[in-house]
Amino acid sequence: MNRFSSLFLSVTLAVASAVAQRPVDLVYPLLDAAHSRWFYFSSACRPFGMVSLFPDNQIDEDWDSGYRYEVDTIRDFSHIHEWQLSGVAVMPVTYENEEVQSVMNNCASKFSHDNETVSPGYHSVFLGRYGIKAELTATNRVGVHRYSFPEGQNRGIIFQLSGHLGPSDILQGGFTQTGKCEISGYMINEATSRRPKQAPVYFIAVFNQPIRTIYLQQNGQLQSDAKQWQDFSGI
């Protein structure tokens, strides 16, 4: 009786294991991450979702931009990686009060693949410069971030609303603080030779803690307690 029960249990487990495998388990997100285009790599996203969220190691061009496995520095985490389209680049940081402007000028951080997890729908990485563990996932329309900050440090999140991001120059941007834990904003991708019209991207960012101060840097000048801003310099 005991021998029969053991055999029956083993067969049941084998069948359950085979049924548990899903198509997503066969996905290899790092395919072609060494040499590829802005929109090829995908981790924190859903199939046909509106956002595709992951670290950007390089942001200068369409080719060899976005997530590059052999580059040891993360420039930002941006939400849109599509053909000829980019948008909403952010970076969590820690800082001393006298470092605000220098961190905003260059917020990039070294990282190691030893402290990184890449899987379909999820990306986590440790930012060595700041001691921050960043975790990313997404719904069909929303990018979700979780940052584990070190104790005793000033904490911040930098939003890049101008400059160049992947395949596009950011022609114009702006934001408004719309609540104690919320900002809304936009950025306009300049036309390219393959996308002849400008492309606006709108966003709302909701935080789990109240906003204490918003620093705005424009043309080398730093302003504190900014509540809203629009940049028309690219028009």
What proportion of the chain, given as a percentage, has pLDDT over 90?
Answer: 77
Residue 70 — φ and ψ, nearest 5°? -90, 0
Of 234, 192, 235, the closest CA to residue 38 belongs to 192
| Calpha distance 149→224 (Å, rounded) | 22
| Calpha distance 49→39 (Å, rounded) | 13
CA distances (Å), origin 234, targets 37, 63, 106, 107: 26, 24, 22, 23
What is 28-231's CATH number, 3.40.1350.10, 2.60.40.10, 2.70.98.10, 2.40.10.220? 2.70.98.10
What proportion of the chain, given as a percentage, has pLDDT over 70?
Answer: 90
> What pTM value is reported for the model?
0.87
Of 6, 10, 61, the closest CA to residue 39 belongs to 61
Region 26-38 average pLDDT = 89
Residue 234: per-residue pLDDT: 53
| Calpha distance 207→231 (Å, rounded) | 24
**Per residue in 72-119, pLDDT tens?**
999 999 999 999 999 999 999 999 999 999 999 999 999 999 999 999
- Domain map (residue ranges) of the chain: 28-231
With bands split at pLDDT 50, 70 and 90, how would you rate the model's confidence at 32?
confident
**Per residue in 199-224, pLDDT tens?**
999 999 999 999 999 999 988 889 98
Mean pLDDT computed over every residue of the chain: 90
Name which of 35-49, 122-136, 217-231 the model is least confident about.
217-231
| Calpha distance 65→180 (Å, rounded) | 35
* ∠ CA 27-30-31, rounded to 5°: 80
